[in-house]
Chains A and B, each alone.
Chain A
Amino acid sequence: MKTEVSSPSGGGVPDAMIVHAVNVTGSQEIPIEVGPSLSVRSVTDAIAHRMALPTDVAWSLRDDRSSAYLDDEGAIGDQIAPGSRVVITPKSHLGGGLLG
C-alpha cells in the first residue's frame, strides 16, 4: 500500500506527524509518519499492512490515552496529537457458532 505524505512547508498545520502504533498484546510497536489529513481508515489499513497483520480481518485504531476508538471516516490529525500511541485492534470475535 502506498499512502501520500505531504511535503514539508513553512509553518501552520504540520505536513506530517509521527504516531506510534502498537498491537493489542503490546508485542509489536512501530513509529510511523502520516499526513494529518489522511482518513483514519487509510492510516489503519497502512499500519496493518506495515505490521504484517492478517489481511482477512478488519482493524480499528484506538487512542491509547483515552481508550476511545478513532472515527474511521475522520482525519487522523483531528483526532489525535502528534506523538500519540494508537492501538490497532481487530474487529473480530470468538465464538463457537458453527459447532452448535
Chain B
Amino acid sequence: MADAPSIGPEAARWDAPSAKAAPLAMHLHLERGGEAVAVEPVTPSDLVDPLAELWFDSHLRRGFSGFGLEQMRALLKPVHRDDPELGRIWEGFDLETRNPGGEVHSGFFTRESLEHVASRGARRLIAEGRLEAGSLYYFGLGPAEGADPWAEGEPGAPIEGPPGRGAPGALRVPLARLLDRATPAGGETTEGHHPVFFTRSARDRAERIARRGGDAQPPVETGGLFVGPLCVCPDTDEIFSVVTDVLEAAETEATKYSLTYSGPTWARIQAILRARRKQNPSRHHRLQGQHHGHNFLPLEGATPCAACDYVESCTRTTAHLSSDDRTWCRAVFPGEPWQLSQVFGLDARSRPVEAFYGQRGGMLVRRGYYVIDDFEDSLLDEGA
C-alpha cells in the first residue's frame, strides 16, 4: 500500500470534462405537501461521502485495501414508497458496486444524509428574499430537472470517485491483539461501524485540550485533531483506527461559540504530520478527526428542569455536533469514511459530558470506541 495518495499520470486541465451531474435534487416546500418552491441540484461533491462509505465497506474492509476511492464506480438507485395522500415519496437512494472479488455490495442512504443540500437551497431562497431566516420549510428528494434516473427498468445512474484519492496506507495489526486489552467507552458502537481505539493518553489529552477553553475568561472553544494510523487486520481484513496522539489547534480564532483554524494553525499541523511520516513508526499517521469543547451551559445556563433530581442522565447538554461542526467536518474530511468527531460539553448541572461520532449512512452519528493503555511496535504483524 502506498503512503500517500497516488497522483494521476497526466496533469488535469481546467477544461477537462467535469464529473457528470448527479441526477438527484432536493425539492424545497414551504408547506407540507405543497408545490416545490425551489429545486436544489445534488452535485457530485454531495455524493462523495456516501460513495466513500460504500468504498470503505465493500472494498477496504473486504480485503481490497489497496483500492483507491478514485477508482470507485457505483450505480445510484432511488428508494421510494407510495403514500396515499402525498404520492410518491423518495426516502433515499441505494449505491451499488462490485468489488474486485466480484461481490456486489450496496448501501442505503436516507434523504437526511443530503440535508446539507436542502440547507444550501434554503440559504439561496433566503438570499433571494423568498424565505425568512429561521422559517420552517420541508424538503424531499426527487429527480433533478430533466433527469429521470427513476424510470422503470433503468439500471441506475453511474457515479464515480473523485480524482487524486488513492488507497490509504495502513499498518498490519491483528485486531484480536487490541480487542483483548481494550475497554469500551463513549457509548454503544452501532453495528457496521469500524473499530476505533484510543490510547488512554490520547483520549485524556483530547479532553484536557477541549476543556481548557472553559478556564478562560470569558470561556472559549478549544480543540485539536486526532492523529494515528489506520490498521488492517491480516486475519479478518477488517480496517480499524488507532488514535495515538492529539495535535492541539494553536493560533486559532476562538470565541465562546466558535473555533476557527487559521493559516498558521494548519501550517503547524501539516508540518508536524509531514515530519512524522518520515519516521518509520509513524509513517502511516494521518489526521483521523477532530475534537473540541463546547465550554458553555445548555440554554444559556437555564435552571435544570424539574425532573432533574430523578433522571439518571441529563439529556440537556452541549455535547452535540452543531450544524457548523458538521459543515466543518464535511469540508475537512470529505471522502474519509473513517473520520471521527468528539465534543466535550456540559449538562444542565455543569457536569462534564462527551459525545463521540463516526460516519454511518453518509452522516456523522453517535457511536462508541475502545481505550487501550498503549500501542507499541510489538503489536504489529511481522512485515508491517
Contact = CB atoms under 8 A, between A and B. Distances in A.
B223 interface: yes
B362 interface: no
A51 B331 CA distance: 12
A99 interface: yes
A33 interface: yes
For chain B, what secondary structure do more than half of its interface residues adopt (helix, strand, loop), or is it mixed? mixed
Given A27-B335, A67-B264, A32 B48 contact: no
Given A53-B334, A100-B296, A29 B164 contact: yes
A2 B16 CA distance: 8
B328 A56 contact: no
For chain A, what secondary structure do more than half of its interface residues adopt (helix, strand, loop), or is it mixed? loop
A82 to B, nearest CB: 11
Contact of A95 (B164, B257, B336): B257
A44 to B, nearest CB: 12
Chain B residues touching A, range: 35 or more
Contacts of A49: 18, 45
A95 B15 contact: no
A68 interface: yes
B308 interface: no
A62 B266 contact: yes
Contact of A94 (B15, B292, B318): B292
Nearest to B41: A55
A97 B120 contact: no
A46 interface: yes
Interface in A22-74: 23-35, 46, 49-57, 62, 64, 67-69
Contacts of B12: 30-33, 50
Given A52-B162, A62-B266, A92-B328, A99 B15 contact: no
B7 A29 contact: yes
A51 B164 contact: yes
B116 A56 contact: yes
A13 interface: no
Given A25-B336, A93-B260, A94-B324, A87 B270 contact: yes
A4 B324 CA distance: 34
A69 B323 CA distance: 26
A89 interface: yes
Q: Which of B43, B257, B258, B260 has the most CB of A within 10 A?
A: B257
A51 B299 CA distance: 39
Nearest to B258: A95
B266 A24 contact: yes
Contact of B324 (A54, A64, A68, A93): A93
A96 interface: yes
A96 B334 contact: no
Contacts of B253: 93
Contacts of B48: 52
B318 A99 contact: yes
B304 interface: no
A54 to B, nearest CB: 5
Interface string B329-346: 011111110000001010
A79 interface: no
B257 A100 contact: yes
Given A29-B7, A95-B324, 7 more contacts: A1-B14, A51-B162, A55-B43, A57-B330, A67-B264, A94-B325, A96-B296
Across the A-B interface, give the 3 residue pairs with the lowest CB-CB distance, nearest first. Answer: A95-B258, A67-B267, A90-B331
Interface of A: 1-5, 18, 20, 23-35, 46, 49-57, 62, 64, 67-69, 87, 89-90, 92-100
Interface of B: 4-5, 7-8, 11-16, 18-19, 43-46, 48, 116, 119-120, 123, 162-165, 168, 221, 223, 253, 255-261, 263-264, 266-267, 270, 273, 286-287, 290, 292, 294, 296, 298-300, 318, 320, 322-325, 327-328, 330-336, 343, 345
